[in-house]
Amino acid sequence: MAGTFTFELVSPERILLATEDAEQVQLPGAEGDFTVLAGHAPVISTLRPGLLDVVMTNGKKRMFVKGGFVEIDPKHVTVLAQTAIEAAEMTSDRYATELRAAETDLSAAKDDDSRFMAQSAIEALKQLHGAKTPA
């Protein structure tokens, strides 16, 4: 399959997603969002809290990640996430809990990096929740 690569999303608890037919992955890099396609140059990057989108030959998946690392080579992408929640599994209760935690982190932040990470989480959660809320 030309144009595809292996993608794995791993949390400390388990493998959350593993596929050999990923066509594209959009990641919340620490320096900004970026997209990976097959044949991407090797990269290792940190991730900030945000939305991770995987496009596969048979559909799409969206996840909220709380940060972590990504390792990229031309045929593989592996994300090691501190926490990852599939958009479809984000209930109203889970959303409220995650939002409260991010807001608490923001109010307790002592430096710019901590504020940035907490604000990134709040923005991603609101974007995810807004996409699930009917207009």
Q: 22, 116, 21, 27: which is closest to 70 by C-alpha?
A: 27
State the CATH class of domain 5-86: mainly beta
CA atoms within 13 A on the CB side of 2: 0
Delimit the domains of the chain by residue range.
5-86, 89-132
pLDDT given at position 129: 81
How far apart CA 55 and CA 24 sit, in angstroms, is 5
At residue 1, the pLDDT reads: 42
Residues 6 or more apart whose CB falls under 8 angstroms from that of 108 comprise 114
- For 32-61, the pLDDT digits (tens) are 999 999 999 999 999 999 999 999 999 999
Task: Please give the model's pTM, rounded to 2 decimal places.
Answer: 0.84
For tokens 């935690």, the residue is 101
Q: What is the structure's pLDDT at 88? A: 87
Predicted confidence at residue 60, as pLDDT, reads 95
How many other β-carbons are positioned within 10 Å of the β-carbon of residue 57? 12
Return averaged pLDDT per consecutive 10 residues of the chain, 135 residues in all: 86 91 96 94 95 95 94 96 89 91 93 93 89 49
